[in-house]
């Protein structure tokens, strides 16, 4: 019975959304049971690099097409992309029943070590303990990374804690944070056959 449940669940865990405002047009699709393939175009090279890493290490197939008011700055594009990715993940998970729910990961990258922990509980929250030694990586403001993760957690229905334990190179710091979050999500969204399709909660629902 459990194997039939997992098969049925993984056949349908996809979602696509389009969000259009006066500032951005964002189109996103996800397949939670993919292999980490990505097709990304946000107009921000380093952001695309981070999203590619996020897709690869979460094993979520991810397509993002974003057009934003980059002549103003990158804030709206980054935040709105996080909103729509989060919305797609939440929709693809349905009622969150039958998943592992919790996940965590430690990711080293040269001199850097970062960790992430996630609870898919429908009570969004972000703890962000990450500092950078530079204001920009490439052309991207480092302060925008918190905005992305805040939007992702808030719209994905997840309690997400991200912390850089130590590190010096800003590129290594943020890339390890994306990879740690991706691996934590990969564990949390995995079907748990022993739950038999029930939510991982003593309340009986999330």
The Cα–Cα gap between 110 and 184 comes to 20
**Tally of domains within the chain:** 1
Expressed as residue numbers, the domain containing 115 is 2-195
> Within a domain: residue 20?
yes
The answer on pLDDT for 9 being more than 60 is no
Residue 36 Rama label (left phi>0; alpha psi -120 to 50; beta): left
Average pLDDT, the chain: 93
Residue 97 lies in a domain: yes
Any domain includes 206: no
Distances (CA, A) of 70 to 65, 78, 137, 178: 14, 10, 16, 23
Q: How far is CA 97 from CA 8, 10, 122, 173, 205, in A?
A: 13, 12, 12, 33, 8
What CATH number is associated with residue 126?
3.30.230.40
Task: Name the percent of the chain lying above pLDDT 70.
Answer: 91
Instruction: Round to whole Å and give the CA distance between 32 and 59.
Output: 7
Global confidence as pTM:
0.92
The pLDDT tens digits of the residues spanning 164-177 come to: 999 999 999 999 99
| Alpha carbon separation from 128 to 3, 44, 124, 165, 176 (Å, rounded) | 37, 22, 13, 11, 14
- Given a cut of 90, is residue 84 above it in pLDDT? yes
Asked if residue 131 belongs to a domain, the reply is yes
Tell me: pLDDT of 64 over 70.
Answer: yes
């Amino acid at each position: 019975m459990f194997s039939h449940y997992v098969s049925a669940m993984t056949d349908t865990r996809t979602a696509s959304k389009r969000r259009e405002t006066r500032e951005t047009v964002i189109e996103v699709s996800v397949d939670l049971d993919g292999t980490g393939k990505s097709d990304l175009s946000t107009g921000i090279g380093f952001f695309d690099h981070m999203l590619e890493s996020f897709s690869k290490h979460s094993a979520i197939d991810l397509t993002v097409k974003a057009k934003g008011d980059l002549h103003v700055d990158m804030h709206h594009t980054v935040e709105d992309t996080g909103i729509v990715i989060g919305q797609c993940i939440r929709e693809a998970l349905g009622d969150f029943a039958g998943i592992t729910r919790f996940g965590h990961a430690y990711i080293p990258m040269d001199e850097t070590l970062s960790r992430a922990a996630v609870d898919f509980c429908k009570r969004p929250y972000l703890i962000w303990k990450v500092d950078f030694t530079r204001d920009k990586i490439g052309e991207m403001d480092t302060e925008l990374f918190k905005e992305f993760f805040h939007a992702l957690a808030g719209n994905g229905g997840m309690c997400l804690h991200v912390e850089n334990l130590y590190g010096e190179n800003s590129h290594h710091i943020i890339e390890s944070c994306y990879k740690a979050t991706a691996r934590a999500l990969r564990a949390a969204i995995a079907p748990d056959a022993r739950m038999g399709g029930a939510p991982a909660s003593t309340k009986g629902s999330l």
